[in-house]
Amino acid sequence: NYLHVAQVYGRTISKINVDSGEIVEKFSYSEPNNHVMFPDDLVFGPDGKMYYTDPAYYQTVFMRYAPDGPSVPLLPVGSVPYANPVTLSEDGNRLFYAQCWNVQDDNSLFELDLETSEVKLILKDIYGCASNAMVYKDNALFTPRPFEGRVVKIDLKSSPPQVTNVTTGMVAPNAVKFNSKHELFVVDDGAGEVTLVNLTADDTDVNRNVVARFPPRSIDNLAFDQDDRLFISSTAEASVTEVLSDGQLRIISSEGMSMAMGLAGIEVDGTRKLYTLHPGALYEIDLNNDAKLSTIVRSAVSLGPMNEPTSIAVWGHDLILMSFTSNSLMIWDLELESSKLLLDFAAPTDAHPFNGDLLVTESSMGRIVRVSPTDSFRAHEVVVEAPG
């Protein structure tokens, strides 16, 4: 039994032996002909070919990888910005994909006919996320809507496609899968719960039972093997966990960091700690305790509590979290574990205190700006600007 795990921050698709936890094969950007950059979601066709989405800084490309050949693009690079999930019909001829995490009313859901290469728009103008980790069954798509706290069924037989609720009242559902018994399971990242849905119940607010619990905002996706064993992936913990029949958890890949983006150090009363992060988690390294690594904040993309940070700096006893993807800078209170301030900056990538003020690089503008705490860092004084 093997799992294929797409690691968007690790820039790798890993083939894992679920019994030993051993990674037996990798598809990564460093290997010739694979063209894997930031793999986000994947699905296998009945012919053994693997299809995956690769956001590549939101200029998404859809790739097909055959066991005997290189990855090849199915659509022009960047033709569907913010595309995230991918799934196939049972016969492997219809590929479905959707836009997600563009926090606007222009996320859409599409179908690609793999025989004719014809693209068809299924739904459009969906706020925040048209789908994230959806599944096809009986000419319908079952898909989570994390910004709406529900899972919906999209009937592809009707015109226009009919959308109905499957389960509602969740915090931030972001993945669904059926097992071989046709039972539907949902990952609610916001609540840290994996639930089994009763598809025949009338009240969609109470039609699910919790089968496993994790820390909130720590889990991403789920998969079943050929024996219906259930596995859950976590970006925050960089792990894959099996949910046993009694609800107990068995970690099959060791916990750690998916990616380290930036480094900041703080010393208070002789206690030395380092901090690093990626858009989904903030990590603490205790230098007074054998460099023990702890995940201290877990964050769902576009849903918080952090701002999808990509770099980090120190401001007094607080942290500065910068995000070039969300064009923002956040002052993070370590003691309260919450945001003090969230400000707009143009793709900030670095920051340094200077004479009581703060210098910030705005990479998309090609400049360094100086901001002051006296006006809550809002007035930008340009210090250096690149010519041209």
Q: pLDDT at position 254, please?
A: 73
- Would you say residue 57 has pLDDT above 50? no
Overall residue count recorded for the chain in this entry: 388
Q: pLDDT at position 232, please?
A: 96
More confident residue, 286 or 29: 286
Give the closest residue to 260 by CA, choosing from 243, 234, 281: 281
pLDDT band at 301 (very low <50, low <70, confident <90, very high): confident
Amino acid at 338: S
Amino acid at 340: K
Q: pLDDT at position 327, please?
A: 92
What residue has token string 């669904």?
176
**Pairwise CA distance, residues 348 & 346, whole Å:** 6
- Would you say residue 272 has pLDDT above 60? yes
- Would you say residue 58 has pLDDT above 50? no
Q: Taking a C-beta distance cutoff of 8 angstroms, is the pair 237, 210 a contact? A: no
**Pairwise CA distance, residues 130 & 152, whole Å:** 10
Q: Tell me the pLDDT of the chain averaged across its residues.
A: 89
What are the tens digits of pLDDT across the range 310-329? 999 999 999 999 999 889 99
DSSP 292-333: EEEEEEE-BTTTBSS----EEEEETTEEEEEETTTTEEEEEE
What are the tens digits of pLDDT across the range 334-367? 999 999 999 999 999 999 999 999 999 999 999 9
What are the tens digits of pLDDT across the range 227-260? 999 999 988 888 899 999 988 999 998 767 778 8
157 DSSP 8-state letter: T
Query: Which residues, 6+ apart, have CB-to-CB distance to 367 below 8 Å?
Result: 361, 382, 383, 384, 385, 386
Q: pLDDT at position 306, please?
A: 94
Pair of tokens at residue 231:
């596995």
Q: Taking a C-beta distance cutoff of 8 angstroms, is the pair 348, 330 a contact? A: no
Q: pLDDT at position 253, please?
A: 84
Query: Which residues, 6+ apart, have CB-to-CB distance to 247 below 8 Å?
Result: 211, 212
Q: pLDDT at position 49, please?
A: 87
Question: Residue range 34-46: average pLDDT?
Answer: 83
**Pairwise CA distance, residues 217 & 235, whole Å:** 9
Least confident of 15-19, 26-30, 165-169, 383-387: 26-30
Q: pLDDT at position 202, please?
A: 95
Pair of tokens at residue 355:
């004479």
Give the closest residue to 1 by CA, choosing from 284, 228, 158: 228
- Would you say residue 283 has pLDDT above 60? yes
Pair of tokens at residue 166:
């499957």
Question: Residue range 170-191: average pLDDT?
Answer: 96
Give the closest residue to 309 by CA, choosing from 280, 336, 333: 280
pLDDT band at 34 (very low <50, low <70, confident <90, very high): low
Give the closest residue to 149 by CA, choosing from 170, 128, 176: 170
More confident residue, 375 or 10: 375
| Sign of the CA dihedral running 294, 300, 304, 306 | positive
Query: Which pTM was predicted?
Result: 0.87
**Pairwise CA distance, residues 209 & 174, whole Å:** 17
Pair of tokens at residue 268:
């208070």
Pair of tokens at residue 53:
């989405």
**Pairwise CA distance, residues 41 & 13, whole Å:** 10
Amino acid at 356: G
- Would you say residue 136 has pLDDT above 90? yes
